[in-house]
Amino acid sequence: MPESEGRGTLFDKFLNVIETAGNKLPDPAMLFFWLMIIVWVTSAILAQFAFTEIDPRTGEELVVQNQLTGDSLADFLANMIQTFVLFAPLGIVLVAMLGVGVAEHSGWIDAGLKKLLNFTPASFLTPMLIFIAIISHTAADAGYVLVIPLGGVIFYAAGRHPLAGIAAAFAGVSGGFSANFIPSAIDPLLSSITLEAARIVDPAMTINPINNWYFTSASCILIVLVGWYITDKIVEPRLEGIEVDGDEDEMPQMETVTPQESKAFWWGFTAMILGIVGLIIWAWPESSGLRDPDWQNPEVSSLFSPNAALMQAIVPLIFVLLLIPGVVYGYVSGKYDSSKDMINNMTKSMESMGYYIVMAFFCALFIDAFNQSNVGLLIAVKGANFLEALALPGQVTIVGIIFLSAFVNLLVGSASAKWLLIAPIFVPMLMQLGISPDLTQAAYRVGDSVSNIITPLLPYFPLVVVFCQRYVKNTGIGTLISMMIPYSIIFAITWTIFLLVYWWIGIPLSFEAPYVYPAP
């Protein structure tokens, strides 16, 4: 039971109920196992029915695939290893953590944080952390394995509750997923889907690959300010009664940086900068192997194409760019005597990932079963068709898309996969009402972002639980969800209002001039 049970506001009591109920759920690994069983049984029942909904991927009637047939179970067993090994977050997490482990356990990150805290007022740690978390989107999913654990480290080193730091960073990385002033690979990916959907109505339509850039840039300011308030006024006060009972030897201490450590830090920092400069020199030529040779759009650099080697190598680059300063710091500070010390640091970081690997195994199997069965797809398409049938005014439909996207996100994790489901329905429909595809896409991105942080089906959700357990050993799914619900609710309300006001004022979402649509 939470320490604050029975006191506080009505909202506090609601969060306490969520936390208590959530922590009574099975261990996350077993939760994914039982969810997989539920999907299997549900698919066996629904497979007996015919549905008129159209599968947007094939253009044919949607069919639920029974996962309890002999063939399906045989495929499940035959592909189990491949399903686990190819689970995308697994490789990302483990490779990135190898570099993080060297940079952290050698002391380079710790020394850097102490220097950062020396000139950053404690009251500004929260907005700084959320801002860093937001811009980490540029590096694909690296924010999950780099910024979120650093949130706990920064807050603990500053004498604040580490779980509040993890919550703030998680809110920025995942809840503010579509708030960023630096374009990333997701921008052209979503806009390409929007373009195909828009051409159902107007085959001559063109859409800029970063068609929501003005809005996502402005949203960055909104998320930092709102997240700052939620962290300092709602989340952290609720954590006052939760004792930090992790291993103190593994946590950052606020001791003074010695002259030798300071020297080692700057040597490591210089090494990292030289690595970044080398990367820029490598990527700069048009013929660079880091670019996408088939990229044809001059408005976006071929470096930022989803198929560019640079975008696909983000995590290995993070590994290298953290490994280098960690090793340099280790030798200059005297903490490393040989390469064995570096390997020991990598091993230590992997030891803490054992629990995550177990959870990732069951999570991968569940998500695969969910996708193979088409149960989530059926729910998503039915929800979209229901909203379309209501024939609501444009403004209300925009709000409906936000909340539909948020709901579907609880069932289908991939941002592009959800947009592939929703875009062909709503982009053409709202074009007939004079609403631009850019605005429809912006509404989708808001809804997709705000529910990321409250669904255990997010592939990185178990990892965030593991980060929390480093400081509070009995942290469960309920604890994390109860911390993130205020962000999800308040982000959803304020961001929706922000989009509607943005639209009402007439600020452009994209670089193109307003488009005049054909009459319905």
Lookup: tokens for 449: 């972002």
Give the per-residue pLDDT at 55: 74
> For residue 349, which amino acid is it?
S
pLDDT at position 515: 42
- Residue 233 forms beta bridges with which residues? none
| Residue 413: partners with Cβ closer than 8 Å, 6 or more residues away | 367, 455, 457, 458, 459
The whole model's pTM is what? 0.69
Helix 354-373, helix 70-78: angle, nearest 10: 150
pLDDT, position 520: 33
Longest dimension (CA), the chain: 74
pLDDT number for residue 212: 82
Tokens of 442: 């912006």
Distance between the two ends of the chain, CA-based, in angstroms?
57
Give residue 498's pLDDT. Answer: 92
Q: Mark residue 107 as left, alpha or beta (left: phi above 0; alpha: psi -120 to 50; beta: remaining).
A: left
In this structure, what token pair is assigned to residue 417? 């996969």
Residue recorded with tokens 């069951």: 362
Amino acid 52: pLDDT: 82
Beta bridge partners of 61: 54
Question: For residue 391, which amino acid is it?
Answer: A
Q: Are the C-beta atoms of 353 and 104 separated by less than 8 Å?
A: no
The pLDDT, as a whole number, for residue 512 is 47
Q: Report the C-alpha gap between 498 and 60 in whole angstroms.
A: 38
Three-state DSSP class for residue 54? strand
b/e map 468-501, b = 16+ CB within 10 Å: bbbbbeebbbbbbbbbbbbbbebbbebbbebbee
Nearest Cα neighbor of 109 from 388, 289, 328 is 328
Confidence at residue 9, expressed as pLDDT on a 0 to 100 scale: 65
3-state DSSP assignment of residue 61? strand
Instruction: Let me know: does 264 contact 333? Beta carbons within 8 Å.
Output: yes
SS3 57: coil
Q: Going residue by residue through the chain (520 aa), what tens digit of pLDDT does each one get?
A: 344 444 456 756 665 666 666 567 677 678 778 888 998 999 999 999 988 877 766 778 888 999 999 999 999 999 999 999 887 668 877 887 788 788 878 888 777 767 766 677 777 889 988 988 887 765 556 677 778 888 888 888 888 899 999 999 999 988 888 887 776 657 766 777 788 777 766 777 777 667 788 888 889 999 999 999 999 999 999 888 788 887 776 665 556 778 898 899 999 999 999 999 999 999 888 888 888 888 776 666 777 676 788 877 877 887 888 899 999 999 999 889 888 999 998 898 888 778 778 878 887 888 788 778 888 777 767 766 776 777 777 778 888 888 888 887 776 656 666 776 677 677 777 776 677 888 889 999 998 888 888 876 677 888 888 889 889 888 888 888 889 999 999 999 999 999 988 888 877 665 544 444 333 3
- H/E segment holding residue 300: none
Distance CA 227, CA 127 (A): 8
CA 511/CA 516 separation, integer angstroms: 15
